[in-house]
């Protein structure tokens, strides 16, 4: 490889997009700025991801055609490959850490964090990377992780290698990846926050990211410490999760008194200070929001020893959002006089519209609750690759007692529901504002009972 080598550690939803973004970076003369190596674990899953990329296929689902085009371009340019061989880090000028960092819940006790996997991942880098190289942590971690866990690990590894302190620099820069129609743009054409363990590390991180991110249109923000950068990501996601949880109680109020809460929210969003107000829905999923609001407490207690600090809003938001799908389950039970023996068609199992990602999807909570009450759920999703009906096609509504619209995929939001129902007359429950009011009224005109979360019962016009 003739160009600076960038290793992307972990080829999941973030790592894959980051690898393609870095491979797409160009010098002023149009030549690729970097050679990119995606590195995965030598496991069945890791080998499958490596094989996919090297054969020109995305290892994750994507609704963004630019992702496919970027992969094709990178392979044609010869500046992207994937491997399970950690020796690739020996060539790396920059290694970007995009590995999972999970929270474990055991028997309703305090959530637990384990640094072992992250430490192992970072150790595989710093025992091999050359002096003068840079480690950029993109993984979302509890504030204080770089300062109190990863930094000391790097120091110990450098000492074992007989290398000077700071021979390998450390920075943190959190991603704001949004899998969907603008998947790749959420890295390239979006604002970045970063910080370094040292000023030199921050400078090196800035120089690297400035070649990947469209910094002229989306200037980067440099923070004073890696802990500040880590806190930024966790605060962003905690704010969003809390906003969602807050609206849930208003959804129940609006339904009870016959108010369309979406109409109210649309009117409020006109005010610039409230333009990002969330709305009630089926539930919260994805890899970030269900767990990230727990990180401030885990960092404060586990890394800084600040046992007296509590984060009740963030913790309550997680609990409210985890149980949100049960609102739809309860409504089905109320409207159908019980769920036992009922067949329910669940339309949408991804965690959000336009995305095939099913991680921490609220659909899993919904399915488990219905089955626990003796019902049967048939899931269907036009995009998601996991947890869906084997047929891969929209099931016929005949034989279902209820149809739940859970995710606003365009394929579901724009379907002719009246024509699809035909002679079937199930309960139709819109759990996430998938269908507009005229469509719901048209369904009601057929004689189907109709209910919408955040709206209540919908009658024929």
pLDDT at residue 108 is higher than 90: no
- Write down the pLDDT at residue 389: 56
- Give which of 1, 183, 211, 14 is closest to 92, Cα–Cα: 1
| Residue range 60-102, pLDDT digits in tens | 888 899 999 999 999 999 999 999 999 999 999 999 999 988 8
C-beta separation of 187 from 219 below 8 A: no
Distance between CA atoms of residues 367 and 415, nearest Å: 23
C-alpha distances in angstroms, 176 versus 13, 179, 213, 237?
11, 10, 12, 10
Residue 306: what are its φ and ψ, rounded to 5°?
-90, 70
Burial 67-94 (b: 16+ CB within 10 A, else e): beebbebbbeeebbbbbbebebbebbbb
More confident residue, 89 or 113: 89
Using N-to-C axis directions, what is the helix angle for 226-257 and 261-269, rounded to 10°? 130
- Write down the pLDDT at residue 391: 52
C-alpha distances in angstroms, 271 versus 140, 248, 265, 266, 276?
32, 21, 10, 10, 10
pLDDT at residue 390 is higher than 50: no
| Residue range 186-224, pLDDT digits in tens | 999 999 999 999 999 999 999 999 999 999 999 999 999
Antiparallel, parallel or unpaired: β 343-347 and 402-405 = parallel
pLDDT at residue 113 is higher than 80: no
Query: Which DSSP category does 447 fall into?
Result: T
pLDDT at residue 11 is higher than 70: yes
Mean pLDDT of 38-65: 94
pLDDT at residue 127 is higher than 70: yes
pLDDT at residue 315 is higher than 60: yes
Residue 380: what are its φ and ψ, rounded to 5°?
-145, 140
- Write down the pLDDT at residue 106: 61
pLDDT at residue 227 is higher than 50: yes
Using N-to-C axis directions, what is the helix angle for 312-323 and 325-336, rounded to 10°? 40
Could you tell me the domains of the chain?
5-226 (3.40.50.720), 240-457 (3.40.50.720)
- Write down the pLDDT at residue 325: 96
- Write down the pLDDT at residue 179: 83
Distance between CA atoms of residues 332 and 326, nearest Å: 10
Q: What is the mean pLDDT of the chain?
A: 93
Residue 357: pLDDT band with limits 50, 70, 90: confident
Mean pLDDT of 344-348: 96
DSSP per residue over 239-276, as a string? HHHHHHHHHHHHHHHHHHHT--HHHHHHHHHTSGGGTT
- Write down the pLDDT at residue 92: 97
- Give which of 172, 168, 216 is closest to 194, Cα–Cα: 172
| Residue range 399-429, pLDDT digits in tens | 999 999 999 999 999 999 999 999 999 999 9
Host H or E run for residue 170: strand 169-172
Residue 356: pLDDT band with limits 50, 70, 90: confident
Mean pLDDT of 238-260: 94
**What would you report as the CA-atom Rg of the chain, rounded to the nearest whole angstrom?**
24
pLDDT at residue 17 is higher than 70: yes
| Residue range 276-314, pLDDT digits in tens | 999 999 999 888 888 899 999 999 999 999 999 999 999
């Amino acid at each position: 490889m003739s160009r600076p080598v960038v290793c992307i550690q972990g080829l999941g939803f973030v790592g894959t997009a980051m690898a393609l973004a870095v491979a797409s970076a160009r010098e002023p003369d149009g030549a690729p700025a970097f050679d990119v190596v995606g590195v995965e674990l030598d496991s069945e899953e890791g080998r499958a991801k490596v094989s996919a990329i090297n054969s020109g296929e995305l290892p994750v689902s994507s609704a963004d055609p630019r992702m496919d085009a970027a992969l094709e371009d990178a392979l044609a340019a010869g500046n992207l490959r994937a491997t399970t061989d950690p020796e690739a880090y020996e060539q790396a000028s920059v290694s970007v850490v995009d590995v999972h960092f999970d929270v474990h819940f055991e028997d309703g006790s305090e959530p637990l964090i384990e640094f072992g996997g992250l430490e192992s991942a970072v150790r595989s880098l710093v025992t091999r990377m050359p002096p003068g190289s840079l480690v950029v942590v993109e993984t979302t971690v509890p504030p204080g992780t770089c300062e109190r866990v990863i930094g000391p690990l790097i120091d110990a590894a450098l000492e074992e290698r007989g290398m000077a302190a700071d021979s390998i620099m450390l920075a943190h820069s959190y991603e704001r990846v949004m899998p969907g129609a603008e998947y790749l743009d959420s890295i390239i054409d979006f604002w970045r926050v970063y910080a370094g363990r040292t000023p030199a590390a921050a400078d090196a991180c800035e120089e690297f990211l400035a070649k990947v991110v469209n910094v002229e249109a989306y200037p980067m923000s440099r923070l004073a410490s890696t802990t500040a950068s880590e806190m930024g990501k966790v605060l962003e996601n905690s704010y969003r999760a809390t906003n969602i949880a807050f609206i849930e109680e208003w959804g129940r109020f609006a339904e009870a008194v016959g108010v369309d809460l979406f109409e109210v929210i649309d009117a409020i969003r006109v005010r610039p200070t409230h333009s990002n107000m969330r709305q009630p829905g089926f539930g919260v999923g994805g890899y970030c929001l269900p767990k990230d609001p727990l990180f401030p407490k885990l960092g404060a207690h586990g890394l800084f020893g600040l046992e007296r600090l509590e984060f009740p809003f963030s913790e309550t938001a997680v609990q409210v959002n985890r149980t949100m799908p049960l609102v739809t389950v309860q409504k089905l039970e109320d409207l159908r006089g019980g769920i036992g023996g009922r067949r329910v068609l669940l339309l949408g199992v991804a965690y959000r519209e336009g995305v095939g990602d099913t991680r921490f999807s609220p659909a899993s909570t919904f399915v488990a609750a219905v089955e626990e009450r003796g019902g049967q759920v048939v899931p269907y999703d036009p995009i998601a690759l996991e947890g869906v009906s084997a047929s891969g096609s929209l099931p016929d509504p005949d034989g279902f007692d209820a149809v739940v619209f859970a995710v606003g995929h365009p394929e579901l939001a724009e379907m002719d529901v009246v024509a699809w129902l035909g002679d079937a007359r199930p309960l139709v429950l819109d759990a996430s504002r998938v269908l507009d009011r005229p469509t719901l009224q048209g369904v009601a005109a057929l004689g189907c009972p109709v209910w919408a979360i955040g709206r209540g019962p919908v009658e024929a016009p």
